[in-house]
Structure 1
Amino acid sequence: MFKKYGILLWLICLLVPGVRAQEAISVLQRPITISIDSSSVEDIIDQLVLENDLYFSYNPQILPQGLYSCHVEKKPLKSVLRQLLPAADYQIEVIDNQIIIKYIEKAPLRVSAQIIDRDNHEPVPYASVTIDGQSIGTITNSDGRFDLVIPQRLLDHDVLIGCLGYVEYRITPDSLKNVGQIDLKPVSYRLREVRVKPVEPEEIIARFRSHIVDNYTLTPQLMTTFYRETVRQDGKYMGVWEAVMEMLKSPYRGVRSDRVRFIKGRKSEFNRSYKDVKLKIQGGPYYITKLDVVKNLESFLDPQYEQIYRYKFEQPIVYNGRVAWVIRFSRKERVDYPCFNGYFLIDAESYALIMADFSLDNKSLKILGESFIKKQPHNVKTQPIRAEYKITYRELNGKWSFYMARTDVQFRVRNKENHQRSIFRSVSDMVVTQQYRFPRRARFGPSGIFRSNDIFTDFIGDYDPQFWENYNVIKPDEDLRNALKQNVDSTKNKNQ
């Protein structure tokens, strides 16, 4: 049960294998015959798929609206698609026999600001920054700062900024261009104003489980995500690895696993003088999707393990104008099974789980011990000393789904020969920057599929400051920006 969160680490001398690229064969010249009247573009594509054994990948929201008729006989597929998708507005390409349809966006608007608490003037980290009515967005970094890329077609939509315990803030893109700082107003909620008074926390948890099929998406969702790993040794950055990934999120009802695939990434490795030991994370993007404690019920939510935990209510808070129960949990005395401690939030009206923040306690770290470690040199002793996790969900069109996940793991490493000691810290963040229903009869992959035994850092190339183009990402905080700048300056000096 715990292995899915135990980020598997390799402490080895670093040898990076090459990754072969697969060649794609175009299918756009295949002769097509189709006859269909008064149908949506998505229905026409569905018929092409069924009758011609084709595979498409696209966001249904970008397709032309309205009804179309299509009658052709033995014409190239590209010609058929261009009747529906004008070249001025749509790009069509083929990767591994999968036809990718993309909308050609005009230059987007890029906005930046810092979010602070109105009362104490402290930064508000990990606040959501989204476009009203859309799934496009990002989150603030630990300094409360964000960058947001807004497509031209959505400039008439407000930007919404929200965080647990604060009043949601709404601002137009034009206004946001001229704002460097946004103050969020803290909000409190008195317990006596709550209409529903539960008897026991376990009752609320049981209602959460019984309402999963009502509250969470039951159709496959294609999510564009931004993923970042950082590793520090004794407080100094050793590297940063970033990627844009796609995740096929399976329905919350059923046993099918989520899948992730690599789109593009970059890396920068620091302090190259540390040559004796390198830390590599196995399956990082794959395992962080397993943090979804609603789809993969963790022990503190699972009725089979409920008896080993102690639950208690804390003061309710407000999220988007609605009351959320705060339930804290910890192991019961005399329990020797590995346990988490922490808290989670459940919406008092719908019983949806909004967020969970939890960690392995000291006893669990001792029990699990080296199960965190996949491989290490014979002269190195490794011990986990901290393992913290956080998962957040968001509501879109009345349904909740995975939004953000974070892992923070620390290890004590001792060299048996020279008795030198180091503290390694590995932090991974993933945020969903866009989400839409996975098209009917579409195929996910197989190109770039990330598996549990893959080493994330082996997938990606060198750091490029202009790499991300129009992707939304998590802005690096000041500490990481300084490390990146020092690394770039150091590289320039060596090359001069």
Structure 2
Amino acid sequence: MKNIKILLLVVSGMLIGYISLDTKAFSQTNSQDFVEYKGEVLNADNKNTIANAHISVNETNISTISNSEGKFSLKVPKGLAPATVSISYLGYLSKNLPLSYFKAKGTLIYLNPVVEELSEIKVYKAGDARKLVYNMLENRGENYINRPTEMTAFYRESISKGNRNVSLSEAVVKIHKKPYSHYGDEDIELVKARKTADYDRLDTLALKLRGGPFNTLFIDVMKYPDYLFYEQNLENYEFNFEEPTQIDNRYLYVVSFNDRNKDMPWFYGTLFIDAETQSLVRAKLNMNVDNRRAATRMFVNKKPGGTKVYPIEVEYDIDYHQQNGKWYFGYSNAKLLFVVNWKRKLFNSRYQVNSEMAVTNWQPETEDRIKRNKNFLNKTVVMADDISGFTDIQFWGSNNIIEPDKSIQNAIEKIKRNIQ
């Protein structure tokens, strides 16, 4: 048995402490209660796949997204038909299709890129990009869900060394979301989860991500603006208009920004803001981590002696979706690339951490006060190993999930062979 040393990472320096979680399946679902449809979302012009397209059943809160290779699965309750399904993605014309169009396998959905030349008169009414972002933050209580909401979400976390997956965690969780005008932190309740890790591939170091689903929840810029715009002092940032775009037939301002304070790791990125309501629809964020010492303090909690560990790439994405005139948190992901330099070793090691979470259903909270139980996660959670779920084809039941891409699917198949 190798002497495994632990490296704990913290996304965005938000979390402290350490805890281990015994992740078991807490519920069983009758597989006869739903119908599953699978397919792929493609660019109608060049047939390229479209990642992170939003697929939702109209007049319900059921939704999912396409994975990094454009593939999706959508589970809907039996008896829902007739129904229509909406498919949308930034920069493409949205499409509505009858549920009868979808097949158990091989459903192909083609989206057409937006070709309309967007009118400056329609779009550039804001004039001042900084003022637009200020209004975006000020109006979040009106533009976003303003009641306590219970969201069902699928979470996936993977860690790879080079091109090899060495750790994979997946979970269905319930997010107890507070109104966007409320500043309190939110709770996450575990429904079921599975995880495995092949520590033999990690030489003498096992890398673990701390915070689990909270890392993707805290990317919600509109709920936690201080994590991006510290103290909401927008004078510390530069804002500029870029070429506008569309989603769901709505015009979007596109605003690039960067932090003027370059002493610490600093954010830069792009905000996609609805021109009509001045709501944030999407954000693509990057963190400059050239200051290695400061970045190490922010992201690395523990490391073995004789090593230097630091991030070299940090990226975040978040999407919001609209329902009944209100926007809500829909999808987020975090991608981090770390370098480990060993003393007296010529070559370094590179580890990539990917985590993503997609809201697949939601409803208003039925209780005024949430009663916490043993299934509620600590904000410092480290997902623990529980490999048994990977052999169960019906493990997720009626829950919608993000389809695994090829690398994840290969990892799952290898896990199954090792278990059996």
Same fold (TM over 0.5): yes
| Equivalent position SS for 1:455 | strand
Distance 2:23 2:246 in 1: 50
Within a 5 Å distance, the mapping from 1:53-68 to structure 2 comes to: none
Kindly provide the CA deviation profile for residues 438-471 of structure 1, in whole angstroms up to 9, marking residues without a partner as x. 0143534322111122212357755234111111
Letter in 2 for 1:5: S
**Structure 1 ranges of 4+ moved more than 6 A:** 7-11, 102-105
Alignment pair present for 1:184 and 2:191: no
Match of 2:146 in 1: 218
- RMSD over aligned Cα atoms: 2.9
The structure with higher relative contact order (CA 8 Å, sep 6+) is: 2
Q: CA contact under 8 A between 2:189 and 2:376: conserved in structure 1?
A: yes
Alignment pair present for 1:407 and 2:414: no
Give identity over the alignment, percent: 26
Distance 1:296 1:441 in 2: 22
Letter in 2 for 1:341: Y
Q: CA contact under 8 A between 2:12 and 2:298: conserved in structure 1?
A: no
| Equivalent position SS for 2:101 | helix
Aligned length: 407
Match of 1:31 in 2: none
Gaps of 5+ in 2: 1-9
Q: CA contact under 8 A between 2:23 and 2:193: conserved in structure 1?
A: no
Report the TM-score, using the length of structure 2 for normalisation: 0.88
Deviation at 1:236, TM superposition (A): 1.0
Deviation at 1:328, TM superposition (A): 0.7
Distance 1:298 1:326, change over 3 A: farther
Distance 1:199 1:335 in 2: 27
Deviation at 1:237, TM superposition (A): 0.7
Letter in 2 for 1:317: T
1:136 aligns with one of 62, 78, 82: 62
Distance 1:419 1:266 in 2: 36
Distance 1:105 1:258 in 2: 31
Q: CA contact under 8 A between 1:7 and 1:372: conserved in structure 2?
A: no
Match of 1:200 in 2: 128
Alignment pair present for 1:5 and 2:12: yes
Distance 1:131 1:125, change over 3 A: same
Match of 2:89 in 1: 163
1:481 aligns with one of 406, 409, 413: 409
Distance 1:206 1:380 in 2: 43
Distance 1:359 1:390, change over 3 A: same
Letter in 2 for 1:137: S
Alignment pair present for 1:450 and 2:377: yes
Report the TM-score, using the length of structure 1 for normalisation: 0.75
Deviation at 1:376, TM superposition (A): 1.5
438-447 vs 305-314, greater mean Cα deviation:
438-447
Match of 2:288 in 1: 361
For the pair shown, the structure with the greater C-alpha radius of gyration is: 1
Gaps of 5+ in 1: 22-94
Distance 1:384 1:436, change over 3 A: same
Match of 1:148 in 2: 74
Distance 1:260 1:227, change over 3 A: same
Match of 1:119 in 2: 45
| Equivalent position SS for 2:416 | helix
Q: CA contact under 8 A between 1:115 and 1:181: conserved in structure 2?
A: yes
| Equivalent position SS for 2:396 | coil
| Equivalent position SS for 1:315 | strand
Distance 1:404 1:365, change over 3 A: farther
Distance 1:105 1:231 in 2: 31
Q: CA contact under 8 A between 2:391 and 2:416: conserved in structure 1?
A: no
Match of 1:55 in 2: none
Distance 1:454 1:343 in 2: 30
Kindly provide the CA deviation profile for residues 60-117 of structure 1, in whole angstroms up to 9, marking residues without a partner as x. xxxxxxxxxxxxxxxxxxxxxxxxxxxxxxxxxxx9xxxx9x9989531110111011
Distance 1:7 1:427 in 2: 17
Deviation at 1:312, TM superposition (A): 1.0
| Equivalent position SS for 1:227 | strand
Deviation at 1:371, TM superposition (A): 2.4
2:269 aligns with one of 333, 342, 355: 342
| Equivalent position SS for 1:164 | coil
